């Protein structure tokens, strides 16, 4: 019999293993980048993921997009005022009607992420570099470990995705794979559009659990008395 772990349990195991091996994963990571779509780039997005079990404020955070030709920052996206729930996603886009689960439709300009090669996306808190990925080659200091040579495609729907979500060994070559696009939901290996409406899990309060378990106990007692 096969046993499947839920994505949350799997991610927590990955996170725990990395901490135990001394390679603590970042609390917030750049989880998925779709910088190139077939034909015109009209639905680009960057997805962040909160690897931790607590809600985190994005006050002071910003995304910097870096031009590989000269290392200059060509776009700056201030994330102050937003927060990221535990083990959840935050999607930045330019057209929320084309990108499912977009949390911050920050511009009306399509084609806001350069197509390499290489270029980089960085997440900073103040002057501290929190996470970064250079794509289609090395671009220091934005390359973690060995650079990924993976390229988003102008002919196939795909994205650069950490798989599983939040995978962070500080080596881009290992952490990123080509995935189908999943803005605001679990990253998946492959290609195509795997977008699904994200559903926020609503935890059942402890009192409700006690009520339900009590009810099950009473029903069991009634059944035994009848038999």
Q: Is 34 in the site for Ca ion (CB under 5 A)?
A: no
Rounded Cα–Cα distance for residues 176 and 164 (Å): 9
Q: Where does residue 225 rank: exposed (0-12), middle (13-18), buried (19+ CB within 10 A)? A: exposed
Residues 154-183 that bind Ca ion (CB under 5 A): 154, 182
- DSSP, collapsed to helix, strand or coil, labels residue 103 as coil
Q: Is 88 in the site for Ca ion (CB under 5 A)?
A: no
Q: Is 35 in the site for Ca ion (CB under 5 A)?
A: yes
Nearer to Ca ion, 158 or 187 (CB): 187
Q: Is 41 in the site for Ca ion (CB under 5 A)?
A: yes
Return the residue of 7, 8, 67, 115 that touches Ca ion, per CB under 5 A.
Answer: 115
- Asked, as a colleague might, if the bond just before 34 is cis with ω within 30 of 0, I would say no
Q: Is 95 in the site for Ca ion (CB under 5 A)?
A: no
In eight-state DSSP terms, residue 51 is -
Nearer to Ca ion, 12 or 115 (CB): 115
Nearer to Ca ion, 41 or 94 (CB): 41
Count CB atoms within 10 A of the CB of residue 122.
20
Element (H, E) at 215: helix 206-226
Residues lying near Ca ion in the complex (CB under 5 A)? 32, 35-36, 41, 47, 113, 115, 154, 182, 187
């Amino acid at each position: 019999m096969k046993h499947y772990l839920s994505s949350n349990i799997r991610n927590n195991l990955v996170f725990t293993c990395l901490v135990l091996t001394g390679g603590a994963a970042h609390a917030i990571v750049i989880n998925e980048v779709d910088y190139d779509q077939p034909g015109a780039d009209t639905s680009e997005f960057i997805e962040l993921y909160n690897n931790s079990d607590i809600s985190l404020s994005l006050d002071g955070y910003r995304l910097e997009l870096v031009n590989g030709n000269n290392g200059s920052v060509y776009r700056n996206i201030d994330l102050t005022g937003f927060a990221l729930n535990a083990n959840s996603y935050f999607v930045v886009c330019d057209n929320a009607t084309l990108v499912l689960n977009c949390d911050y439709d920050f511009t009306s300009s399509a084609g806001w992420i350069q197509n390499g090669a290489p270029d980089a996306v960085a997440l900073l808190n103040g002057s501290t570099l929190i996470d970064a990925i250079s794509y289609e080659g090395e671009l220091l200091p934005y390359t973690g470990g060995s650079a990924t040579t993976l390229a988003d495609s102008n002919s196939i729907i795909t994205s650069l995705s950490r798989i599983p979500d939040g995978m962070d060994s500080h080596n881009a070559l290992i952490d990123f794979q080509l995935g189908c696009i999943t803005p605001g939901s679990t990253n998946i290996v492959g290609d195509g559009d795997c977008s699904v409406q994200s559903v926020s899990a609503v935890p059942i309060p402890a009192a409700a659990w006690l009520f339900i378990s009590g009810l099950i106990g009473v029903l069991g007692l009634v059944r035994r008395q009848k038999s």
